[in-house]
Structure 1
Amino acid sequence: MRVTILQPHTGPIPGQHYLPAEGAALTWGRLPTPDRKPALTVTSGQTVTIDTISHEGLMEDQGRDPRAYFAEHGVSASDVLTDLVDLAASDVVHTRGPDGPHVVTGPIRVDGARPGDILKVEYLDLQPRVPYGVVSSRHGLGALAGELPVDDETGTPVPRISQYCSVDLGARAATMRWATGSATFPIDPFMGLAGVTPDTTEALNTIPPGVHGGNMDVRDLSGGSTLYLPVQVDGAGFYTGDPHFAQGNGEVSLTALEASLRTTVRLTVLRPDAAFASVGALTGPFGETDEHWIAIGMDRDLDEAAKKCVREAIRILGEVAEVPQSVAYLYLSAAADLVVSQVVDDVKGVHCLIRKKDFPAWA
């Protein structure tokens, strides 16, 4: 059975609003700034369906010609997203290095949001737009920068390796093939990059995450999860990008299984008093699912990222579950899971999964 390709403006669009990945709604390699005109304006509590596009197959070292790139892997021209093709053919200037690789859709203004508020982002639906994706490594980047990638036959360094993967959307599984074998693994789509507009006049590179959110690559923030972000500027200016079909914690080679998604979110503004019951006095990104609180720590030093994550986990347990600091510290050691989110984004990430059911009031 032929898989439906979710081209712009086609297929299911469950949100109250729709933001395609087109024209002024896109930035490539940079985050929106406060003076950027909103691509869409919504009221608190409304839902938005957002098209996002993967940078893989678009990058300059892959030819900046998605149809030609994917044709090499047997993908017909009609099965390549037209918004990806249009961006590749546009006059948008993208310089790898000063600019990150990620294509960002947004910003979305949420009426009434102001600094001091919390933007609650509920991931209602994450639909693959295509039945394929790509995993890449580029020399000088990744967990083994300077060591890999190399040519498997000669052992000499190569500037880039990219692995095309076919995806069975019905089975929710991706397959990676090589000359003598294959590996099949499950997919669980999520947005690698989501945030609010930073309070800075400089258009920040998309690679390092920060208090605004951004490129956090926390794979547990998949369908059904919620992300909380401290609002930095009036209107919040929500954006998202870097769609993933699957990722191992750590994201060690550089990328996850990168592939385009149609994402539906509910955007709700929480005033400080209302936010406190859910997230306490939040100063950076925080997540939750039905089962877990997700404390997030970020720093250029992985050890410091872990420390920040533990401090954040202790804070949330104290402010939301009313656990004394010393008890929370011991509980985390006995029962919580500290996970390396990613080690490849300059600012590294660690997140902590805390089971809500361990606390009677939240069971």
Structure 2
Amino acid sequence: MALSHLAPPTWSVLQPLSGAEALDAGLPYLPATPATTSWGRLPSDADAPVMSVEPGTTVVVDTVSHEGILEDQGGDPVAFFGRHGIAAHDVLSDAITIASSGTHDLTGGPHVVTGPIEVRGAQPGDLIAVHMGPLTPRTHYGIVSSRHHRGLLPGTFPAEGPVTSVFCLLDEPGTDQVRATLPLRPGDAERPIRFPLQPFLGTVGVATPGERRHSVPPGPHGGNLDIRLLVTGTTLYLPVQVPGAGVYVGDPHFAQGNGEIALTALEAPLRATLTLDLIPADQARARFGSVAGPFAVTPEFLVPTGLDEDLDVAVARCGENAVALLGAAFGVHPEIAYAYLSAATDFEISQVVDLVKGSHAMIRLSDFAALGRELAR
């Protein structure tokens, strides 16, 4: 079932090697092609890097959304988006190529990830810091899908057929704040629901040893974290699993609510400008202690995470990591950290739909300003 019926605005799309001032600035550019992407499974140490950079390098990476190219949507993005009023020239050519490539590993998940990128000198025990620069929408449309009876309400949705794909458009460019729109009811273009964009990459990870992992569940390697705070200005820290790190990104979003209850959020392609830094193991321990799993720093918050198939355990692990981070970063005694977190910190549900559930905490950095010790990013 497809839900749409909104008039398209007059946007241009970012086709491969087009637009984006970053390309004109001479930054290394990684397009999304069948040779530079993995579809369904994540890179492992057996995958040769598709780009190799020195630590501190800023790169531009194109990502492709799985929505609109999947087999249950017909596997033909021109036809799929055409049914929603999108002209063929406004469908991304890399999405068309990947859809027809036959590279989807059907034993894995739905996600297309671009990479892996080698960060020279990275070794297990180090941290990779992925600094999120501009995350630019490549299209003016996206999809929110419900499928597999695997969302928060699997007994209720999707209500008609195996998949429901809700089509969303962006407002006209040039407005004060571009927002996404979707119809109040199917066919009701006169009364759109409008909500703000918050572009971020749902999948950011590092390669793992052994077999290529399913693209859906996140883990210590990062992967499909679906943390909506990973916007421009945020830094995500990932523990290196294999030499060279093997950084990859994908599952681009225009917006998501904490929880991502329908299985997907507003999925749509982004052009990501990322700076890849390396923190050697000894420096990582000095700055962050022995925190397990990915964590992030935004301009406002320190963001530990917790991951587990059981949401209660995921939240508990997030709490353990929060206590450990406060001790390592600011010297807070564990009992005081535990009390502070209860009094002053929000523990959020990142997502409940990725087999392994996620929680993240939002620790205000301003609360520690009086210590005179800033958390360097």
TM-score of Structure 1 vs Structure 2, range by shorter chain = over 0.9
Which residue identity lines up with residue 172 of structure 1 in the other structure? V
TM-superposed CA distance for 1:182, in Å, is 2.4
TM-score (norm 1): 0.95
TM-score (norm 2): 0.91
Q: Cα–Cα, structure 1 residues 93 and 275, in superposed 2: closer, same or farther, change >3 Å? A: closer
What per-residue deviation string (whole Å, max 9, x for no partner) do you get for residues 35-68 of structure 1?
1111000000001100000000001110000000
Question: Residue 173 in 1 paired to residue 183 in 2?
Answer: no
Map of 2:206 onto structure 1:
196
* Structure 1 residue runs without a partner (length 5+): 152-157
Which residue identity lines up with residue 22 of structure 1 in the other structure? T
| Aligned match for 2:163, one of 154, 160, 163 | 160
Map of 2:192 onto structure 1:
182
| Aligned match for 1:340, one of 329, 344, 349 | 349
3-state SS, counterpart of residue 341 of structure 1: strand
TM-superposed CA distance for 1:147, in Å, is 2.5
* Structure 2 residue runs without a partner (length 5+): 1-8
CA contact (8 A) 2:34 2:97 kept: no
CA contact (8 A) 2:349 2:360 kept: yes
Distance 2:142 2:89 in 1: 16
Question: Residue 309 in 1 paired to residue 318 in 2?
Answer: yes
CA contact (8 A) 1:13 1:49 kept: no
3-state SS, counterpart of residue 35 of structure 2: helix
Map of 1:129 onto structure 2:
138
| Aligned match for 1:32, one of 43, 49, 72 | 43
| Aligned match for 1:149, one of 137, 150, 158 | 158
TM-superposed CA distance for 1:362, in Å, is 4.7
Equivalent residue runs for 1:1-363 within 5 Å: 2-12=10-20, 14=22, 16-95=27-106, 98-151=107-160, 158-168=161-171, 169-170=173-174, 171-177=177-183, 178=185, 179-180=187-188, 181-200=191-210, 202-359=211-368, 360=370, 361-362=372-373
What per-residue deviation string (whole Å, max 9, x for no partner) do you get for residues 292-324 of structure 1?
000100000000000000000000001101110
Distance 1:272 1:88 in 2: 40
What per-residue deviation string (whole Å, max 9, x for no partner) do you get for residues 119-156 of structure 1?
010001100000111000003211112321113xxxxx
Consecutive aligned runs of 4 or more in structure 1 exceeding 4 Å deviation: none
3-state SS, counterpart of residue 24 of structure 1: coil
3-state SS, counterpart of residue 107 of structure 1: strand
Map of 1:154 onto structure 2:
none
Q: CA RMSD in A?
A: 1.4
Distance 1:362 1:124 in 2: 25
Which residue identity lines up with residue 340 of structure 1 in the other structure? I
Residue range with higher mean Cα deviation, 141-150 or 318-327: 141-150
3-state SS, counterpart of residue 359 of structure 2: strand
TM-superposed CA distance for 1:108, in Å, is 0.1
TM-superposed CA distance for 1:16, in Å, is 2.1
Which residue identity lines up with residue 76 of structure 1 in the other structure? A
CA contact (8 A) 2:90 2:139 kept: yes
